[in-house]
Structure 1
């Protein structure tokens, strides 16, 4: 099977960018025609229903944390292979890929492709990652990533020539290409020419010592890891293949990203993408994002906005006339979901939460209709966490399972568990006599989560359960859940609520700690038993079996049946208690900005938020032509 992007009969003549013209004139940079690969990715915008654009302009957007500059890697979405608008995989950075039996993947690089600093991008960069990063015990003590192992056998990586890389396994690995297309992919290549200066196998010893002291780290490996931030995007010196490169230097509240002069995509008129010269990403308090969007201080914004902001955004739209507010679909399986931590360190609470009757009672004790009306004017879909209605795998029975409020039924389930003793104020008692106070930790970033929990607290009180909400910093919340010290958390549902039969169902099984219901089981899988705990619940073990079965068949009917069973297990087991899904996502777009789709899906995976909509193809109709400084 060959994955190849559509090609034109002839590469159009390439136009020079005004942004880099001075650099070209001074001899510091080759002309655009020499900066592109010999076989660039030619984007036919008209075939996609878009218009040819012009280069120039500065796009303003906001984030709420300095570390969120990594969204430039998400939004830019330059991947070896990436999802197209219809969620099919297409080569992007790669010229094409040959796939044999889903186990041998031959990656073909574009000839004369270059990093953002002009250095050649070749198979040597893949070899550096494999040999000197993934297999270096000081840089990567855990060894090659777990996805390199299939059926307990490590795959191989070979490099026949400078434009060819071969990944091969003894058994099928259908997860490999979707993995490369993720919002946060495994970067299986590195800018070897840059990183070698920090690697003990290549670096000058005196230089390395000085750099270690300057960076205030303890070893050369720590220095290397500090300089190697392909996803974090916080090292301006590290070359990139993304549409824009970090030009801010030290961390700042106003981060500037300028066009990559060697970016590999062009349009059919010979204009190098991205169209927009500069992206300005400003860090502000999360509570200010809606107000600044309302004031017309952004050109493209969705992150940090929720449905509650639509009214003020629409008012600003009418008053100022500077922007329009689009309402995109939300691709998460659940807008709000509660995750009882089945790996909680408290053995009494852990045993209670592992009883499916308890999780079902919690779900039956939620008034989803009231939450929907209060938070989303009734526009969200009420029900548990499952594949969304737009997915071919959607089953209405899974959505409805244990999701209709029934206080009497919920109380019967809790009574059946033997939780019949009460405190003086009506709270049920745990088997050890403690009052049943259920602590749900929240990142405190979304008001709708806290509003929903406030409503739930009232109805759970009728079950004899006191809900205690504990706001925490996002990173602290995650670390507590991962360590088993957090009882429960509230978060989004699965990132991918739009799966197809060919989508890996691995995220429905205990394969990663990021699923807050079973962090230690996920750790066990991710580290191949070196950390965490082995799953010891039959339903969880069955999910692992089914995930493995999916990986070992290419039969579409079998894969569909596997998905159906896994979704049904989640619906019945209520590992995560979904509340609502499909609440519209507001997207603020400058009236000057073009090629932004009127309708779209806002999802982290698959799709990388704006990434799947190709932000490098957006342009300003009155773009100010800029010159690099």
Structure 2
């Protein structure tokens, strides 16, 4: 880790002037020059791997940039400093701008029939504190963390299991790691490229001092006392927070590293002096020296962007903000770009099929009920009111860019038809109404559905206000309840929420190589079946096993996909799963393809004019490589 002197320099250097000279050899950054001169850092030629990742910007119609400057952006919660891991997008294997996988942190890799993966590290690659990044960091995670019951009671993460089989992992030398299964694991590489990477490595040199296998009991006890923690495992897990990115003492491989300790409303991230990517002129990336992340109230993001207080912003902005953002361009020194959205649905309603109320659970599990709710929604009005008709109305399915897109799936149970919706509810036996015109459940309670939201997007509340009137026309009352995001998720996972809203599938662009696990009842994050997801994620120790025919079909198909040997077979499985979702309306999608406003400083270069804003695949800004963005001097 950088010493205190360097951290002091970091804070003072936030406004450092970028380097403009060109040279044949690696160029020292002005940001770190003082530390190099003082002997606190080696020169740049000794900080870059022996075989760095060389990017040719001209091949991608980008400009060769220059180092320097501070990029300002905003988040709405202090915990969202983790977005710097998302945006930084340094991955063992990552997607390029064509959404093709290629080696990034890795020098290269070999894939033998999706059964054996040989990962080759870059010789000379170092962590941000200057310590070597080697296969020992992979070994430590695999043997001492992932397979340690105290640190990870449920064992290694799911994507490493193939029908329950864990891989054989070996470390032939300092720069080679091998993962091997007896059956194919086609999701292995894709998982490494995710927005939230699995981090199958750790900075072993920093964590071993807090591990009982490497530190004597007396020393460990002293550290536990200082940290006010009862067990070494709890302390280790507290420090082992590579995705949270909130510990400046934990080394990283990302382009920027946290330089603010115990921050509350303002965080600084400074260039990683050991970053592995360079341009063809020998300039080490990232081009931008410092990222300043300010925490603001959700309602202030658009206003502050309008005032020119950011250099790059999309998170926290909705399409409704476009008008005010356009007005501020003349004085704010920025341009508002409109990117397409990669989620399967901009807004989706999730009936909780694992709801704790048995009567409501049975009602919502009847596919006729979910279809009727979907048929009653006036998506055209929502589209026109919220997006000026620029989005695509329809149920939740994949986007047209995916080979599994079918127009009939987007239209399935999504074209407004009140007569059919009422007929479905009558057919269910919900043909009795109270004095207010609302249908009655078999136990006499009125059909009132409480839909809980995260309260973060005004467009969600606006859409639900329209749906309140739509559902009233079929005798169902919608009650909207805004909650804080974490509270909402905990309630959903516990089966306490009747229905909730969120985006649709994060990845609306799947290909044959994309794991269909998020279409199967494998993850509690899919808010229609949290307990089925828990059952899968905990290997039966929590939650409930799927007990609906369609859900069991999806579960079996997802397992079948993992065993498939070719793209054709995987594609057939994908299509069947997409079709099952469209017919069963597990989540009620409203529309997709709504433009995402992206505010970009007029001085910031290499930001695409047209692109896809998607969590997966793409990591929001990540796939567009913010380490290549630079300020025009």
Bucket of the pairwise TM-score, normalised by the shorter protein: over 0.9
Q: CA deviation at 1:530?
A: 1.4
Using the alignment, how far apart are the partners of 1:391 and 1:48 within structure 2? 23
In structure 1, the residue matched to 2:589 is: 578
In structure 2, the residue matched to 1:30 is: 42
Question: Structure 1: which 4+ aligned runs deviate by more than 4 Å?
Answer: none
Instruction: Tell me the secondary structure at the aligned position of residue 154 of structure 1.
Output: coil
In structure 1, the residue matched to 2:144 is: 132
Structure 1 unaligned regions, length at least 5: 1-10, 623-629
Q: CA deviation at 1:321?
A: 5.0
Using the alignment, how far apart are the partners of 1:321 and 1:302 within structure 2? 16
Instruction: Tell me the secondary structure at the aligned position of residue 30 of structure 2.
Output: coil
In structure 2, the residue matched to 1:190 is: 202
Q: Tell me if the contact between 2:162 and 2:562 (Cα under 8 Å) persists in the aligned partners.
A: no
Tell which deviates more after alignment, 307-316 or 552-561: 552-561
Tell which deviates more after alignment, 389-398 or 594-603: 389-398
In structure 1, the residue matched to 2:368 is: 357
In structure 2, the residue matched to 1:393 is: 404
Q: CA deviation at 1:147?
A: 2.2
Using the alignment, how far apart are the partners of 1:558 and 1:99 within structure 2? 19
In structure 2, the residue matched to 1:214 is: 226
Q: CA deviation at 1:340?
A: 0.3
In structure 1, the residue matched to 2:466 is: 455
Q: CA deviation at 1:546?
A: 1.4
Structure 2 unaligned regions, length at least 5: 1-22
Alignment of structure 1 residues 133-532 onto 2, 5 Å = 133-318=145-330, 320=331, 322-532=333-543
Correspondence for 2:558 among 540, 547, 551: 547
Using the alignment, how far apart are the partners of 1:455 and 1:73 within structure 2? 37
Q: Tell me if the contact between 2:184 and 2:565 (Cα under 8 Å) persists in the aligned partners.
A: no
Q: Tell me if the contact between 1:360 and 1:402 (Cα under 8 Å) persists in the aligned partners.
A: yes
Using the alignment, how far apart are the partners of 1:469 and 1:323 within structure 2? 36
Q: Tell me if the contact between 2:468 and 2:478 (Cα under 8 Å) persists in the aligned partners.
A: yes
Q: CA deviation at 1:79?
A: 0.3
Q: CA deviation at 1:206?
A: 3.7
Instruction: Tell me the secondary structure at the aligned position of residue 178 of structure 2.
Output: strand
Q: What CA deviation, in whole Å up to 9, does each residue of 1:467-504 have, x standing for no partner?
A: 01111110011111111111110000001111112222
Q: What CA deviation, in whole Å up to 9, does each residue of 1:562-590 have, x standing for no partner?
A: 12211111111000000010000000000
Number of residues paired by the alignment?
611
Alignment of structure 1 residues 595-614 onto 2, 5 Å = 595-614=606-625
Using the alignment, how far apart are the partners of 2:400 and 2:612 within structure 1? 13
Q: CA deviation at 1:204?
A: 4.5
Instruction: Tell me the secondary structure at the aligned position of residue 572 of structure 1.
Output: helix
Correspondence for 2:85 among 63, 73, 76: 73
Correspondence for 1:110 among 116, 119, 122: 122
Using the alignment, how far apart are the partners of 2:520 and 2:212 within structure 1? 39
Q: CA deviation at 1:400?
A: 0.3
Instruction: Tell me the secondary structure at the aligned position of residue 98 of structure 1.
Output: strand
Q: CA deviation at 1:207?
A: 3.7
Q: Tell me if the contact between 1:195 and 1:228 (Cα under 8 Å) persists in the aligned partners.
A: yes
Q: Tell me if the contact between 1:12 and 1:268 (Cα under 8 Å) persists in the aligned partners.
A: no
Q: CA deviation at 1:217?
A: 2.1
Using the alignment, how far apart are the partners of 1:445 and 1:258 within structure 2? 29
Using the alignment, how far apart are the partners of 1:566 and 1:395 within structure 2? 12
Using the alignment, how far apart are the partners of 1:297 and 1:58 within structure 2? 12
Using the alignment, how far apart are the partners of 1:252 and 1:31 within structure 2? 34
Using the alignment, how far apart are the partners of 1:512 and 1:27 within structure 2? 50
Tell which deviates more after alignment, 499-508 or 338-347: 499-508
Instruction: Tell me the secondary structure at the aligned position of residue 19 of structure 1.
Output: helix
Q: Tell me if the contact between 2:307 and 2:332 (Cα under 8 Å) persists in the aligned partners.
A: no
Q: Tell me if the contact between 1:146 and 1:528 (Cα under 8 Å) persists in the aligned partners.
A: no
Using the alignment, how far apart are the partners of 2:448 and 2:223 within structure 1? 52
Using the alignment, how far apart are the partners of 2:332 and 2:198 within structure 1? 42
Q: CA deviation at 1:351?
A: 0.2
CA-based RMSD of the aligned residues comes to 1.1
TM-score, normalized by length of structure 1? 0.96
Q: Tell me if the contact between 2:187 and 2:513 (Cα under 8 Å) persists in the aligned partners.
A: no
Instruction: Tell me the secondary structure at the aligned position of residue 84 of structure 2.
Output: helix
Q: Tell me if the contact between 2:126 and 2:133 (Cα under 8 Å) persists in the aligned partners.
A: yes
Q: CA deviation at 1:383?
A: 0.2
Q: What CA deviation, in whole Å up to 9, does each residue of 1:56-114 have, x standing for no partner?
A: 00000000000000000000000000000011000000001111110110100000100
Using the alignment, how far apart are the partners of 2:401 and 2:414 within structure 1? 20
Q: What CA deviation, in whole Å up to 9, does each residue of 1:595-628 have, x standing for no partner?
A: 0011110000110000000000000011xxxxxx
Instruction: Tell me the secondary structure at the aligned position of residue 535 of structure 2.
Output: helix
Q: Tell me if the contact between 1:337 and 1:576 (Cα under 8 Å) persists in the aligned partners.
A: yes
Instruction: Tell me the secondary structure at the aligned position of residue 222 of structure 2.
Output: helix
Using the alignment, how far apart are the partners of 1:13 and 1:270 within structure 2? 6
TM-score, normalized by length of structure 2? 0.95
